[in-house]
Amino acid sequence: MLVKRSLPLTIAALVLLLGADGVHSAEALPQGNGVPTTVIVRVVGNHGMPLGDTVGGAAVTIKDVETGAILASGTQTGSTGDLRAIMQTPRLPTEQVFSTKDSASFTAELALAKPTVVEVIGEGPLKYPAAKRRASKTVLLYPGKPVTGDGIVLQLYGMIVQIEAPKADQPLGIGDSVTVRATVRMMCDCIIEPFGNWDSRKMSLYGEVRSDSQVIGKFDFFHQGPKGLFLGDYTIPRKLKGTDRLTLRVVASDAEGINVGYDEHAYPLVPWEQSRDATGREIPPIGK
């Protein structure tokens, strides 16, 4: 009596039975397909937190360095994250910083057929074009190896500065005293104030008065509240009689001078008595 033995089927035999196309390894995937690879990107303010929805987030682009093809693009969304965890918690250099709950990020699902060198570009804050900056990094992505945790972190340098008053094009009287109100924040919309996490006492904040592209005067700003609001006073010199316009510029920077921001408005100049109506109140901005 013949006894049939069951022999183990080798990989080679399996290939012969199924045909050459029956078995694929990740590396053998045809061009155009790829291994799903998750990539997290975070655009953050230098010395700050992720750029969240309050500043419009940040635009993110992932580009293949070799071919120039755009592999993914979109907008970073979410909150700025946990202030205590990000800014106040001691940690080792290798520990995660920004990957707190709901922290703003951009997630891409790429299909990589081979190890790929990419350029990751971040630009923001999108809600404040005058403060918008750009940063990029070049990294190697490996098929199937996800980039998680903090992800690829891009730091943007700068500050968001906005002149709140006087409004642009409001007539200013020659010889009159002008109170300039400005808000100053980090790129993440984080509040700058004395003794705060972003201490205004360690920063430089001043105003420039410019005429015909020349600086004709400077004045200091002081924190007045609500949080992030600063005031500065300047008297428009009578020597400007006959000048049509001047520009007020507010400049802010950190102690190192690497995070800098400014805002400026141009104003028409009129004789002092024409800058106020019969009740002594300031004339509203032109066109209002």
Per-residue pLDDT of the chain (288 residues; tens, 9 = 90+): 444 444 444 433 433 333 433 333 223 333 358 999 999 999 999 999 999 999 999 999 999 999 999 999 999 999 999 888 888 888 888 888 898 888 999 999 999 999 999 999 999 999 999 999 999 999 999 999 999 999 999 999 999 999 999 999 899 999 889 999 999 999 999 999 999 999 999 999 999 999 888 899 999 999 987 788 999 999 998 888 777 889 999 999 999 999 999 999 999 998 866 666 544 555 555 444
Architecture of domain 32-156: Sandwich (2.60)
Rounded distance between C-alpha atoms, residue 182 and residue 201, angstroms? 16
User: Quick check: 206 and 251 in contact, CB under 8 A?
Assistant: yes
Rounded distance between C-alpha atoms, residue 44 and residue 204, angstroms? 22
Q: Is 159-275 a domain of CATH 2.60.40.10?
A: yes
Which residue in this structure is represented by tokens 């104030």?
A: 193
Give the residue range(s) of CATH 2.60.40.10 domains in the chain.
Answer: 159-275
pTM for the model stands at 0.80
* Neighbour-count burial for 154-169, b at 16+ CB within 10 Å, e otherwise: bbbbbbbbbbeebeee
Rounded distance between C-alpha atoms, residue 261 and residue 186, angstroms? 9
